[in-house]
Amino acid sequence: MIEQLADVWTLDLAEACEQRFAIATLEQCQRLVWLLARVPAPSARAVLLRRLALSTGAAAAQILRALSSARVGVPTAQIVRLFDEAPLEAVVAAGFAGDPVLVPALMTRLDDPTLGRHAALALAMLNACELSGRIASMIRPHTRDGSGFIVALEVMNDPGVVPQLLELLRTGHDHAWDLHHALWRLTGREPLVPLTADRDASNRATANAWRTFDLDVPPRPRLERLAVDEASGVASFDVIDGDGLIRIDYDSPSPGSTWSRWNKSLFVGPDRWYAVGSDCGTCETTLRLVGYPPPTAAVVAGEIRRLVADAPRLESSSIEALRPYITKLRTGHYLAFLVDLDLEYVASPERSWLARRVMHRVGDDEPEDATAHWLGTEHYQVRAPSLEGVPTFGLVLPAVSLVTLDADTVEASAASIVAGRHPTALVMSWVERKYVRAEFDERFLVSVVLDGHHKLAAYARLDRPARVLAVCRLEETWGPPSDRSLWLRESFAALGAGGKGSA
């Protein structure tokens, strides 16, 4: 609807909205503000800015919120005027203004228990790096706002604050995970932190890991503690000094939000690849293509090319050969599964499990709009979900448009399959388990293709289960604290060809 309105937006419509404000009820004014903030046209934003200059109190606060949500800069004079009437909204708007004149006013609000973390983020957006040490000093134990100040420092991206953060972490801190994340963001380095079931134990483990980690030692990407169970086709190993080129991480914070961290995406370098939703345990699994990653230098050669051409079994040498790929991921604890997945090609919203999952929710009669759940690209999915216990669905997301695949390459892979070989796609996988609306328990095994799009297309064309090698970072997958790998193992066992899936 908004996209259609944007296509036909004219100056006459902008003028009509402006005139409507004069006679509209309060509720109608609120709707006009909501609408104008979402139309990506300069004339629509100009109407809001003129209306802001005439507004005070709650009405001005609403317009500021709308403009900030659209990331529109507000004139400095209007922000200064509204610092007292709409303090939170004015602080948030200051971050988008791009005017260093606002820095002193924001600095005075760092100690405010309500505005402090928002002021810190606004200062970060204004690149006031001279205040990074002051912001770091606001990170105090046992305070909810500590995470907000840490996120602000990540946005500010000033490596000069690293020693201060290290000192906070090494002396013990209940914001240990956030400090760890900020140090990784600011340095590009991170130690391997043991997985623990208890938060206090995790905080101690994180602090201990950083106490013995030397940032001055050059990185040496490698695999350690590799163990392979050939019978089950599962390997475990640690990645040390992974460069994090491909990773799941939090999106940039939304200024003014209740939560300093919320939505996540799959990234390749600085670029978002797929939006993967939030950590909210009662929200549905959501996935949406943001943009295909840019081409990267091929590392599939030699021993790696031999491996992915035919992988009849999982061996230690297989994982070792994949080190150039695997160390592109983050430092962490990993499992790898060699498994056959019975995949089908999905080209329309109504066929995807993201929409069809509702048919397996007993008692759910809410209408569903399939297009609202569309991934945004053709993809593959496991043909039959597992319905024993927790309903479990499987998706395989591409890194390129599947309609552009080279037909001759697909045919060559198909010929190899018919000849009895096992061309293997390399994917990165994780599990999400959501208790949707606190009513419906369900899991998604999500995989993204790192190499092997033509192989998957060949398997689908032949209607045969596809051989995949799935690499899974336990820190990024959902699972019970006592055994983070449990839901991964269960999902692959249930969805792999020969598992207990049922339509």
DSSP output for 400-453? S-GGG--HHHHHHHHHHHHTT----EEEEEEEEEEEETTTEEEEEEEEEEEE-H
- Rounded to the nearest integer, the mean pLDDT of the chain is 91
- Residue 42 has a pLDDT of 87
Angstrom CA distances, 476 to 118, 151, 264, stand at: 28, 19, 11
User: Whole-angstrom distance between the N-terminal and C-terminal Cα of the chain?
Assistant: 35
DSSP-derived secondary structure letter, 344: E
Amino acid identity for residue 96 in this structure: F
Residue 355 neighbours by CB distance under 10 Å: 19
- Residue 456 has a pLDDT of 97
Q: Domains, the chain, ranges and CATH? A: 2-211 (1.25.10), 222-243+297-495 (no CATH)
Confidence of residue 310 (pLDDT cuts 50, 70, 90): confident
Confidence of residue 298 (pLDDT cuts 50, 70, 90): very low
Residues in Cβ contact with 398 at an 8 Å cutoff, skipping those fewer than 6 apart: 377, 378, 379, 380, 448, 449, 453
Instruction: Select the more confidently predicted residue: 101 or 359.
Output: 101
Confidence of residue 366 (pLDDT cuts 50, 70, 90): low
Question: Residue 301 pLDDT more than 60?
Answer: no
Confidence of residue 299 (pLDDT cuts 50, 70, 90): very low
Q: What is the mean pLDDT of residues 296-316?
A: 69
Least confident of 93-107, 220-234, 356-370: 356-370
| Separation of alpha carbons 209 and 222, rounded Å | 18
- Residue 2 has a pLDDT of 54
Least confident of 24-38, 184-198, 326-340: 24-38
| Separation of alpha carbons 20 and 41, rounded Å | 18
What's the gap between Cα 97 and its chain centre?
27
pLDDT tens-digit map of 449-501: 998 999 999 999 999 999 999 999 999 999 999 999 999 999 999 999 754 44
Question: Residue 385 pLDDT more than 60?
Answer: yes
Q: What is the mean pLDDT of residues 51-75?
A: 92
Query: How much of the chain exceeds pLDDT 70, in percent?
Result: 94
Least confident of 18-27, 340-349, 412-421, 429-438: 18-27
- Residue 243 has a pLDDT of 93
Least confident of 106-110, 301-305, 412-416, 434-438: 301-305
The highest-confidence range among 191-195, 302-306, 324-328, by mean pLDDT, is 191-195
Least confident of 38-42, 102-106, 237-241, 449-453: 38-42
Please identify which residue in the block is written with the tokens 């208790």: 435
Least confident of 196-200, 286-290, 300-304, 354-358: 300-304
Question: Residue 147 pLDDT more than 90?
Answer: yes
- Reference 330, options 245, 223, 447; nearest CA is 245
Buried b (16+ CB within 10 A) or exposed e, 372-393: ebbbebbbbbbbbbbeeebbbb
| Separation of alpha carbons 159 and 146, rounded Å | 19
Instruction: For residue 386, give both structure tokens.
Output: 């597992």
- Residue 364 has a pLDDT of 65
- Residue 302 has a pLDDT of 53
Beta bridge partners of 427: 449, 470
Pairing between β-strand 271-277 and β-strand 466-473 as defined by DSSP bridges: unpaired
pLDDT tens-digit map of 126-139: 999 999 999 999 99
Confidence of residue 143 (pLDDT cuts 50, 70, 90): confident
pLDDT tens-digit map of 239-288: 999 999 999 999 999 999 999 999 999 999 999 999 999 999 999 999 99
| Separation of alpha carbons 210 and 215, rounded Å | 9
Pairing between β-strand 425-436 and β-strand 466-473 as defined by DSSP bridges: parallel
- Residue 369 has a pLDDT of 76
Q: What is the mean pLDDT of residues 21-39?
A: 86
